[in-house]
Structure 1
Amino acid sequence: MKTNTWVLAASLAMLVASTAHGQESSRLSADDLRHATPLIHWPKGLEPHNVDVFVHNEGWIDAPPEIVWANLIEAVQWPNWYSNSADVHIDADQQKLTKGATFHWKTFGFPVTSTVDVFEPNREIGWNVQTPTFSLHHAWLLIPERGGTRVITEEAQKGPVAINFHLEQPNAMHDGHDWWMSALKARSEKMAKN
């Protein structure tokens, strides 16, 4: 009963906040949804049109997909170049992400446990987070383009925790992924020149 009350309160707060700002009650950015790529493999129930929060970021990196991929799967190294990550540990003392790998880390100051559910080398990686009040899928898609890599990252979130975080910090996910993309670009391009 307590969870239902919290969900109702969060939903009501969202409606009040969106009405106060003259926005529709949806937490989905029309611009982000318009750019959602059909190339990403979404888990059932976490497709972009079926969630509470969705963000899309993309950019071009002057490095081949193999280099960008290497930086994405070496998760234990993320804190060395992406400061919004910390304390990354992959189960079974692995150094790199693989299909089915579970990893524990901190992002946005929160401890998170993620499991890799999509793993297509040099093309797509995605992981999920599942709790009783929150679920998400974060995907990275690499597309060879102009001698480098078009990188698309999208995240779909569902549940009262996602709604509440978005209400409190509506741009945090988009900005955090821009930050991650910029750091990935700098690291990958430096590696490509060496």
Structure 2
Amino acid sequence: MPVGIDEKAPVITRDDIVIDAPLERVWRIQTDVENWPAWQPDVSSSVKRTPGALRPGSSWVWSVAGLENITSTAEQVEPRRRIVWGGPAQGITAVHVWIFTQTEDGVHVHTEESWAGDPVTAETAYFQQALDTSLDHWLHNLKQQAEKKRS
């Protein structure tokens, strides 16, 4: 059964993009968490705690856009189709879903994320804008990285 975001969370963002690249490449870039800082300007560090490919229970510690030492854990992994991760960070509980679908035009990437917790409830508008911007940037950076010409 698919794991999903917290539909009752005060902040929820959903976004989509189509990437003109092979599905395998898009998946590899997105799931290589330790390489995120190389193509995601907002990610300053990311270190895997569990070796090998991402699988349910895999975890990593990363920092993004001023949130430091986030520990994320993969909740669900369906290779080249779906990944869900989540975890707490500075009072915020996040759940992030990624869905990858091969189409005639390329790879359709759908993402949705929920944020809950006291900081989010206290400043919902601020956190909504932050998450909207973050996911938009993430998708466009993923697209740019995946569509680079391979030499």
Q: TM-score category by the smaller chain?
A: 0.7 to 0.9
Alignment equivalent of 2:67, drawn from 90, 104, 110: 110
Q: 2:13 touches 2:128 (CA, 8 Å); kept in 1?
A: no
Pick one of 153, 174, 177 that aligns with 2:111: 153
- Sequence identity (%): 25
Deviation at 1:95, TM superposition (A): 6.2
The structure richer in helix per residue is: 1
Compared CA separation, residues 113 and 120, structure 1 to 2 (3 A): same
- 2:20 paired with 1:58: no
C-alpha displacement of 1:80: 0.5
Q: Alpha carbons of 1:95 and 1:110: their partners in 2 closer, same or farther (altered >3 Å)?
A: farther
Instruction: Report deviation, 1:133.
Output: 4.0
Aligned match of 1:137:
95
Q: Write the distance in 1 (CA, Å) between the matches of 2:99 and 2:105.
A: 16
What is the deviation of 1:130? 3.3
Q: Could you say which structure has the larger radius of gyration? A: 1
Q: Gaps spanning 5+ residues in structure 1: where?
A: 1-38
Q: How many residues align?
A: 150
Q: CA offsets per residue over residues 65-109 of structure 1, 9 Å max, x none?
A: 2111000110111000001112101104x3653321111000121
Listed as ranges, the gaps of 5+ residues in structure 2 are none
Q: What's the TM-score once normalised by structure 2's chain length?
A: 0.88
- CA offset at residue 156 of structure 1? 1.1
Deviations 1:35-93, CA, capped at 9 Å, x for gaps? xxxx9631xxx432x2111001101000122111000110111000001112101104x
Match in the other structure for 1:34: none
The superposition leaves residues 136-159 of structure 1 with CA deviations (integer Å, 9 ceiling, x where unpaired) of: 211111011114100011101221
Q: Is the 8 A contact 1:137 1:156 kept in 2?
A: yes
The alpha carbon displacement at 1:118 in A equals 1.1
Report what 1:47 is aligned to. Answer: 6
Counterpart in the other structure of 2:48:
90
CA contact (8 A) 1:91 1:103 kept: yes
**TM (normalized to structure 1)?**
0.70
Asked if residue 167 in structure 1 is aligned to residue 141 in structure 2, the reply is no
Higher strand fraction (1 or 2) = 2
The 1:133–1:109 alpha-carbon spacing in structure 2 relative to 1, beyond 3 Å, is closer
